[in-house]
Structure 1
Amino acid sequence: MSDVAEPDYDHILRSNLERVFNERDPQQRARALAELTTEVPLMYEPDAVVTGRDAISAVAGRLLAQFGPDFAFVPEGRAVGHHGMASLRWRAGPRGGDPVVTGIDTAEIVAGRIARLWVLLDR
């Protein structure tokens, strides 16, 4: 057994969805990224590797702009994790409507912050 306390994986990954990927204000999103991620986080998307807080913020902003004002990411269940790795299933689409995409975020957590994030989409 490890004496090191595990971080609150559910809080970290839910905060990432709500405060980064659902945040339409770029300054608020930047503050959230500064709190939730390491200095130079990496995000692995199916078609790209995104490096750094500013680039991740830009991806989130483009998604929100592309899908309109009612689009939102919603967590499904609680995140699970241990030993610095955590996953959270989510769905995204118009608030109150059917999802247009579902997936799982899997993150490497270092010192309570997201260092690397894999965005896995259900095809």
Structure 2
Amino acid sequence: MATVAELMEANLLGVFNERDDERRAKAIAATYAADVVFVDPEGSATGHEELNAKAKGLLDQSPGFVFAAAGPVLVNHDLGHLAWELGPAGGPPVVRGIDVALVEDGLIKKLYTMLLPG
């Protein structure tokens, strides 16, 4: 069973940073509960298919951009927190944010993404 820290890293790098549809779908199945709820400033997505569509949409609108962790994963029991950056590969980030996830039974059940100002 994956740790909260491993799930947070898989969320950022294995899902939201993965441009290959098949690899991303496999990572989603291994990382999130079937009824996962993902919430960001634009709205919410429920379940693997909606989450996959959300991740694909973000990647499609930012070609050449990559996500990177902006610090260590912080864990408090079943809650994970990871700061991240998004920008052109090798360049400065253009967006910064944080992900907060609630983990149940070894999978992410709820995921909240917040964008940081500036």
TM score, norm. by length of structure 2? 0.93
Residues 1:10 and 2:5 aligned together: yes
Counterparts of 1:67 and 1:46, CA distance in 2: 17
Letter in structure 2 aligned against 1:52: G
Task: Name the counterpart of 2:53.
Answer: 58
CA distance in 1, matches of 2:41, 2:59: 18
Residue 86 of structure 1 pairs with residue 80 of structure 2? yes
| Unaligned segments of structure 2, at least 5 residues | none
Please report how far the alpha carbon of residue 46 of structure 1 lies from its aligned counterpart in structure 2 after TM superposition: 0.9
Aligned length in residues: 116
What CA distance in whole angstroms lies between the structure 2 residues aligned with 1:58 and 1:121?
A: 19
Tell me the distance in 2 between the aligned counterparts of 1:18 and 1:74. Answer: 7
Question: Whole-Å Cα distance in 2 between the matches of residues 120 and 112 of structure 1?
Answer: 23
Deviation of residue 98 (structure 1)?
A: 1.1
1:19 — aligned with what? 14
Corresponding position of 1:76: 70
1:103 to 94, 97, 101: 97
Q: Pick one of 99, 108, 111 that aligns with 1:114.
A: 108
Q: Does 1:46 align with 2:41?
A: yes
Calculate percent identity across the aligned residue pairs. 35
Instruction: Please list every run of at least 4 consecutive aligned residues from structure 1 whose deviation after the TM superposition is greater than 3 angstroms.
Output: none
RMSD: 1.1
